[in-house]
Amino acid sequence: MLIASGLLALVIATAFAVLLVSVADLRAQERLTTRSQQVLITANQLERLVVDLETGVRGFAITGQERFLQPWQDARAALPEVSATLEQLTAGGAQERRARWLARAAAAYVQDYSVPLIGTARRDLPAARTVAVTEEGKRRVDAMRAEFDRLIATDRDLSAARQERSDRAATRAVTAAAVGLAGSVVLIVIFSSYLTRAIVRPVLGVAAMAGRLAGGDLAARMPATGVGEIGALERSFNSMAGSLQESQAELAASRARIVAAADQTRRRIERDLHDGIQQRLVSLGLDLRAVQAGVPPELGALRGELDQVAAGLGSTVEELRELSRGIHPAILSEGGLGPALKALARRSAVPVQLEVPLQARLPEPVEVAAYYVVSEALANAAKHARASAVHVEARTANGRLHLSVRDDGVGGAEMGGGSGLVGLTDRVQALGGTITVRSPAGQGTTVQVELPLDADGH
């Protein structure tokens, strides 16, 4: 960017420098041209004054009448000023010497020739008409006219040279402007292409990758091909994405360990209840029935009380069995997901249609998660949805378990609405799965779960 900016600045500065020099040259030539025009005008004025001097002297010498001296007198009065102007305009130039000579020749013509000739004509008119006198005047005027012609011709040549130089300066200015404009456009195009390739596209790429990252694709990475700050940005993005991916993996592993630990605890509690308290209560019930059988007939009241206690103990055993089944159903560990879902369907308060064509056992964490999703969905259909039927489908495809629970209830369920599915989301996501709930009002509720079959809880 610095090199491109420097080149662009250099081209523009060079073009402007040439333009400024050309404009200055044009202005200088314009001033010289104006001055040359003034020289020509002044030289013509001085030449006309010389002609007026000659005309006045000749008229007076021929006629002797004073009225013919009026042009001579006017020209004599204006001569010093015009001569001085001509010398001033040509000062320091090639025409300075010629202008000075013309000024002195004109003054000499007045002082050395015309004034004495007028005096002679006033005293002796025929003497003023001699050939010698006439020839002297003609010689002086012809010399001045020749010098005037040379001055004008030289000044015209100088004007032509100045015009040619002005044309070259104008051409140079136009060329510099065209080259500067074309060079600037080319550099700007190159600069824009470089910015697009080196900055804009990588930044857009980072923005796209950031969008993918925000959408949950933590595997998004940028090709670290940029240089400078862009390369640092790409590397920082990749480092951030890698850190997020590692953090997500660690979080998922931690959640999976928590879920596995909770399942092991539930299974241990269920086993302890089944093998310990439940068996003890069953044994006590049998003992109580044996005692009841040995009660004499005359103690009917005692037999009735013992019967109530035995019945209460049996109810307690059933409640404990249901409680242990809710903690961790033994049939799930023993028979797998298919039999466990069938058991749920039999106990459901809402009729359930099952489609569970599972032939083999699934990983234990997958079976446990699927079981509790179906259990919670059936409970919601009975308690909240006022459904008349529930359809449960479980199948495996492409290395994943696809589970769907659909009811025909009132709908309107939400994940955060106290349905109990929020807690299941952590269990499903801990195994790398997804859970979605669609529940439009009046159109029932559908819970869909996908679980990878390689989930092992670690």
256 domain residue, yes or no: no
Residue type, 232: A
User: Looking at residues 11-39, what average pLDDT do you find?
Assistant: 77
Contact between 288 and 310 under an 8 Å Cβ cutoff? The reply is yes
Q: pLDDT digits over 386-431, tens only?
A: 889 999 999 999 999 999 999 999 988 776 655 566 777 888 888 8
Q: pLDDT digits over 212-244, tens only?
A: 878 778 777 877 776 667 777 777 877 887 887
Q: pLDDT digits over 11-23, tens only?
A: 778 877 877 777 7
Residue with more model confidence, 439 or 7: 439
| pLDDT at residue 207 in the model | 82
233 domain residue, yes or no: no
| pLDDT at residue 418 in the model | 54
Residue with more model confidence, 41 or 307: 41
Q: How far apart are the first and last CA of the chain?
A: 51
31 domain residue, yes or no: yes
Q: The domain containing residue 80 runs over which residues?
A: 2-190
Q: Distance (Å, rounded) from C-alpha 115 to C-alpha 61?
A: 12
Q: pLDDT digits over 157-200, tens only?
A: 877 887 788 788 778 778 877 887 887 788 788 877 877 777 77
Residue 61, burial from CB neighbour count under 10 angstroms (0-12, 13-18, 19+): buried
Residue type, 289: R
Check residue 392 and report its DSSP letter. Answer: E
Residue 458 has pLDDT above 60, yes or no: no
| pLDDT at residue 267 in the model | 62
215 domain residue, yes or no: no
- Given 190, 214, 242, the domain boundary residue is 190
406 domain residue, yes or no: yes
pTM attached to this predicted model: 0.45
97 domain residue, yes or no: yes
Task: Give the number of domains in the chain.
Answer: 2
Short-list 382, 371, 370, 387, CA closest to 433: 370
User: Looking at residues 278-297, what average pLDDT do you find?
Assistant: 76
- Given 190, 223, 253, the domain boundary residue is 190
Residue 456 has pLDDT above 60, yes or no: no
Most confident of 83-87, 151-155, 192-196: 83-87
- Given 190, 214, 249, the domain boundary residue is 190
Question: What does the H/E/C string look like for 146-172?
Answer: HHHHHHHHHHHHHHHHHHHHHHHHHHH
149 domain residue, yes or no: yes
Identify the H or E element spanning 435. Answer: strand 434-438
257 domain residue, yes or no: no
